[in-house]
Structure 1
Amino acid sequence: MIPNLPLHRSPPMMRRSLLTLASGLALLSPAGAQVLRPVGQPYTVAPGLMGEVNKKGEGKPAEDVSGIACAPAPSGPRTCMVVDDEAAGAQFVTLDGTTLKPGAIVDIAGRKPPKAAVGAPPTTGDCTLGQGAYRELDGEAVAYAAPDFYVTGSHGCSRRGREFKLSTALLARLHPDAAGTGASVETTYRLGDALRAADTVGPYVLKDLEPREGGKPLSGLNVEGLAVVGDTLYAGLRAPVLDGAAFLVSVPVAPLFAPGDGPLAAKPVTIPLALGPDAGIRDLTALPDGRLLVLSGPTRNGLSVPYGLFLAELPSGKVTPLGTIAPLDDDDARSKPEGIVRLGPGRVLVVFDSALNGAPREYAVAIP
């Protein structure tokens, strides 16, 4: 049930929608859908995909890949962007057949808050340990909408440290150069404005993500999915999940990046998705027809919730289960699905957290 939060009440229409969604969860759960297993061998990742970079500029191999997006191409290699949640930015990758070739790294967060970021930085919120060091972006998702890539930080308390890090409160728009070897970067704090103003989920912004030992879960909000369809950006939330519904928060792109330090001049829209109990959004990818492919998974660590794929219609939020992703049974058995991108009709690529270079696997998925 929705926790009792005295400063906020969901509008009656939203409450009725959540009850309707909950009543249909047994029909929509991916548990009864087909089990999806990798097709063929794992994709090859050439050397150079970077994760955390230390103060000396030395990078570690990527082991926490959390998102991927690719520009469409009728044939041949595709330009993609990958994000690792321990890195300060994102990295270009060329997808050529079944090989990913890492390219230029684009710094987003830097070592200090970007002076050119629009909007106003958020306060520390209710993260238990308050303000943490300005460090990694905690990049969780990438989206593509011609001609730009979009990359978002988690916008939540750190999962283990329960701290607020300003570096995670950035949304970036990256405009690739003609050579595909770099990008100009715009950053904004206004996605945080949208999340705080969003119906139903706003009170969960900057609450702890994981309960303290013996404590009650606070279901703190964090962003793990991102998509841009037309002129609208959709942020997919891993948490909170309320009465079996996960949430998208949609907002027009233009006001997010408007010049100045003023607040967001737009009203966000909250869209519930009936993904099932304790199943949050782990990634999003936009399909050519404007629908969203949704990767779902546990809203908190340690929950026995399968990872699944859903098809979501916009703006209604109606979802169709497509299947559950079977755990990998090789050296990457401990890995978790974290990112998804469409390869073509009936084909998707999934990248995994806690696996070297994201352990990319192809899956066949029937999309109605």
Structure 2
Amino acid sequence: MDTIPIRFVDDHLVIDIAESLSTVRSDGRHLWLGGDETVTIERVTLAAAGDAFEEHVSFPVGDFLPLPEPADEDGVVPEIDIEGLDLAGGYLWFTGSHARTRKRVRADHATEAALARLAKISNNGNRHIVGRIPVMSTPDGPVLVASAPDPAHPGEMLTAAALGLSKSTRLTRELREDPHLGPFLRIPSKDNGLDIEGLAVVGERIYLGLRGPVLRGWAVVLELRAAGADGQNLVLAPFDDGAVYRKHFLDLGGLGVRDLMADGEDLLLLAGPTMDLDGPVRIHAWRGAARAETSVVVRDGAIEKVLDVPYGDGVDHAEGITLMPDPAGFGRHAVLVVYDSPAAHRRQHRHEILADILPLPAACR
């Protein structure tokens, strides 16, 4: 296993993004990254020597889309909790977690304070977004823009749009009456409630991986289909049965989905615990995922474990995977892994984090 540092601009961030990385996607020599405590998407570039990612640039999502939750009295905008990124059709796609949260109890909280915090559940509208932002090539690398000419379709424009810019367009409104997922919408994420972690786009198909709920050991992947946009509101196209989503149930050995990545017609899934636990953590391959034409139960030969991912004791929770850029010399089928709650050895310098590079087995090459 190799490692590679990702370096952020030390005076650029209010939030230490290196401590809270939640998703990553490669784009040539560049990485796009999201964090669970920010309202920005980060871009870094592989150094000429291929030994580090640097040249950090930050893109506030609010520069391209009107976020549902405004800044508070201190000027702080509630986080989007970006848990998935993908590149498709000239866009960078992203998703928030759609999760409710329960207050964390810390070691210095007395009993009464701890009980009060455990009773407090919050719901932040900025987390309820599934969006896309146009990517434009420049001499300094790819940048996010509100709109841009579509290079694949001359005369047409790419425009930023999202689900969830208002309560009436949230994905969770579609899920409220769902017999499998509806009961979990009001449950906090760390209690096996709804928690989207992972996004992959294949053609018109948008896949959302659920860390939770895990139902009797079965993980869930949602599939949506985009029909375009009405202004800045993303519009979903119904499937043949009239539903605007499909549900796929996967046997991941009792684990939930922590990230998704398209690999041709397959999906690679980073799987880990749904609850506040350390491991195990694995990468699975769902073979032929993009060929499914109905909701499916995925087991046996259609799903296979590809490799185990390291994890620590209270640290190093793998959150994002992406294929390593070719110029780094690791080959197309090495996977880069980023971690939330990184172990101390990953923080050798301020605002720098070490990511792992794991070779995928021959079956994935």
Same structural fold, with TM-score higher than 0.5 when normalized by the shorter chain: yes
Q: Residues 199 and 270 of structure 1 are in contact (CA less than 8 Å); yes or no, is this contact kept in structure 2?
A: no
Residues 101 and 183 of structure 1, relative CA distance in 2, 3 Å threshold: farther
Secondary structure of the equivalent of 1:187?
Answer: strand
The 1:285/1:262 distance shift into structure 2, 3 A limit, reads closer
| Structure number with higher strand proportion | 2
Deviation per residue, 1:174-232 (Å, 9 max, x gap): 21223224432433214334544656223322322235xxxxxxx21010111001111
> Would you say how many aligned residue pairs link Structure 1 and Structure 2?
289
Q: Which runs of 5+ in 2 are unaligned?
A: 70-75, 104-119, 147-159, 165-169, 239-243, 325-330
- Give 1:91 deviation, angstroms: 1.0
Q: Which of 351, 355, 360 lines up with 2:355 in the alignment?
A: 360
One-letter amino acid of the structure 1 residue matched with residue 129 of structure 2: L
Which residue of structure 2 lines up, in the alignment, with residue 171 of structure 1? 130
Aligned residue runs from structure 1 range 104-183, under 5 A: 104-109=57-62, 115=66, 135-160=78-103, 162-179=121-138, 180-183=142-145
- The one-character-per-residue Cα deviations of 1:206-264 (angstroms, maximum 9, x if unpaired) are 322235xxxxxxx2101011100111100000000012110100010235x44476985
Quick check: 1:307 aligned with 2:268? Answer: no
Q: Residue 16 of structure 2 aligns with which residue? A: 60
- Structure 1: tracts of 5 or more residues without a match: 1-38, 123-132, 212-218
Cα-Cα RMSD: 2.9
| Secondary structure of the structure 2 residue equivalent to 1:301 | coil
Shift of 1:68: 0.4
- What SS class does the counterpart of residue 16 from structure 2 fall into? strand
Residue pairs, 1:189-208, within 5 angstroms: 189=164, 190-196=170-176, 200-208=180-188
Is the Cα contact below 8 Å between 1:109 and 1:167 reproduced in 2? Answer: no
Structure number with the bigger relative contact order (C-alpha 8 A, sep ≥ 6) is 1
Distance in 2 (CA, whole Å) between partners of 1:194 and 1:222 is 15
For 2:311 and 2:60, how far apart are their aligned partners in 1?
33
Structure 1 length-normalised TM: 0.70
Per-residue deviation, 1:349: 0.5
Alignment of 1:142-291 (within 5 A): 142-160=85-103, 162-179=121-138, 180-184=142-146, 185-189=160-164, 190-196=170-176, 200-211=180-191, 219-254=192-227, 257-259=229-231, 264=236, 266=238, 267-277=244-254, 279-287=255-263, 289-291=264-266
Percent identical pairs in the alignment equals 26
Q: Give the conservation status (yes or no) of the 8 Å contact 1:82–1:90.
A: yes
Shift of 1:265: 5.1
Residue 40 (structure 2) pairs with residue 89 (structure 1) = yes
Please say if residues 194 and 264 of structure 1, whose CA atoms lie closer than 8 Å, have aligned partners that are also in contact: no
In structure 2, the residue matched to 1:349 is 336
Distance in structure 2 (CA, Å) of the matches to 1:233 and 1:262:
12
AA matched with 2:341: S
Superposed displacement of residue 139, structure 1: 1.0
* 1:14-93 paired onto structure 2 within 5 Å: 39-40=1-2, 42-48=3-9, 58-71=14-27, 73=28, 78-93=29-44
